[in-house]
């Protein structure tokens, strides 16, 4: 177990593997997901010669549950603290779900001086739908902007677990450690709800438009939370960006179809 202390004193955990002299890849999981949720990527990226760092955001996995910092800017600052503490340069940042928007929170505050490129995994930059953006969380708009996430993450009723098949469900169970009581419990803490609300009401499109490093937006065709077209719409914001959609794949894109995900990301990294 490896730890660092964030700039506000909070203890943060990360796991490191692969080639210590390889180019670093930092993996940042989504809401309530731990670093171990990248288990299907850690070995594949390590075998490809990369230095792989799987990061637990505050309140996630083995990192400290802090009394403060339950918003996206602080989660972005924590990523910056990781890069600074480990003196990582020429880094590939890979963020799944909320972890992807935590990357934009870091870029907005600290820029891309240590970053080579970015991979965003099934996360729309704007969850609230309006006349100018139809790629947000299903059925989330001005009418329920302050209430939809008040008690947790609602089920939009698209692409049920039963439609995934046993292999995809099993991968999620294993990666999220649900059989051992991982972060699968239904109750949400006040801190988690505060973070979720802040996440849901942000708009990162301007940050994406201004970013000066290549970005790959990956979507699962059968994402439970938003239409897969969000990836292409996000990539259209910046000439350095591109997008890909993985068929028969859901929101846990890197978990449900790890072979296709790993192959696509590694090919893009070697472009």
How many domains would you assign to the chain? Answer: 1
Between strands 51-55 and 215-220, the pairing is unpaired
Q: Which two tokens stand for residue 266?
A: 């590694």
Q: Which strand (E) or helix (H) includes residue 241?
A: strand 241-246
- The per-residue pLDDT for 83 is 98
Query: For residue 38, what are the domain limits?
Result: 2-269
Distance CA 231, CA 142 (A): 23
Q: Report the largest interatomic distance among the alpha carbons of the chain, rounded to a whole angstrom.
A: 51
How many CB atoms sit inside 10 A of residue 254's CB? 30
Distance CA 49, CA 62 (A): 26
- The per-residue pLDDT for 157 is 86
For residue 73, give every residue at least 6 positions away whose Cβ sits within 8 Å of its Cβ, in sequence order, or none: 105, 108, 109
Q: Is the pTM of this model over 0.85?
A: yes
32: domain CATH number? Answer: 3.40.50.1820
- The per-residue pLDDT for 214 is 98
Distance CA 7, CA 193 (A): 23
Among candidates 125, 135, 114, which has minimal Cα distance to 212?
114
- The per-residue pLDDT for 85 is 98
How many CB atoms sit inside 10 A of residue 135's CB? 19
Q: Which two tokens stand for residue 208?
A: 């994406």
Distance CA 261, CA 24 (A): 18
Distance CA 153, CA 32 (A): 11
- The per-residue pLDDT for 183 is 47
* Residue 42 CA from chain centroid, whole number: 15
Distance CA 28, CA 95 (A): 5
Tens digit of pLDDT at every position of the chain (271 positions): 799 999 999 999 999 999 999 999 999 999 999 999 999 999 999 999 999 999 999 999 999 999 999 999 999 999 999 999 999 999 999 999 999 999 999 999 999 999 999 999 999 999 999 999 999 999 999 999 999 999 999 888 887 776 776 666 566 666 666 544 444 455 899 999 999 999 999 999 999 999 999 999 999 999 999 999 999 999 999 999 999 999 999 999 999 999 999 999 999 999 8
Distance CA 208, CA 214 (A): 10
């Amino acid at each position: 177990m490896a730890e660092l202390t964030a700039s506000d004193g909070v203890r943060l955990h990360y796991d490191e593997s692969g080639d210590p002299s390889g180019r670093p890849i930092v993996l940042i999981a989504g809401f309530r997901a731990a670093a171990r949720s990248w288990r299907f990527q850690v070995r594949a990226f390590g075998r490809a010669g990369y230095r792989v760092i799987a990061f637990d955001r505050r309140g996630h996995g083995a990192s400290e549950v802090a009394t403060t910092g339950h918003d996206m800017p602080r989660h972005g600052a924590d990523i910056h603290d990781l890069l600074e503490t480990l003196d990582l340069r020429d880094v590939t940042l890979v963020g799944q779900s909320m972890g992807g928007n935590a990357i934009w929170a870091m870029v907005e505050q600290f820029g891309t001086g240590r970053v080579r490129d970015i991979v965003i995994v099934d996360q729309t930059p704007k969850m609230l739908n309006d006349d100018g953006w139809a790629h947000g969380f299903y059925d989330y708009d001005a009418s329920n902007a302050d209430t939809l996430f008040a008690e947790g993450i609602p089920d939009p009723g698209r692409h049920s677990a039963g439609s995934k098949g046993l292999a995809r469900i099993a991968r999620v169970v294993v990666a999220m450690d649900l059989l051992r009581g991982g972060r699968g419990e239904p109750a949400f803490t006040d801190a988690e709800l505060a973070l979720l609300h802040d996440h849901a009401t942000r708009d990162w499109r301007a940050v994406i438009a201004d970013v000066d490093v290549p970005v790959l937006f990956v979507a699962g065709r059968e994402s439970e939370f938003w239409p897969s077209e969000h990836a292409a719409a996000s990539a259209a914001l910046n000439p350095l960006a591109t997008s890909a959609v993985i068929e028969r794949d859901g929101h846990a894109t890197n978990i449900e179809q790890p072979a296709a995900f790993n192959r696509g990301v590694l090919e893009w990294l070697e472009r």
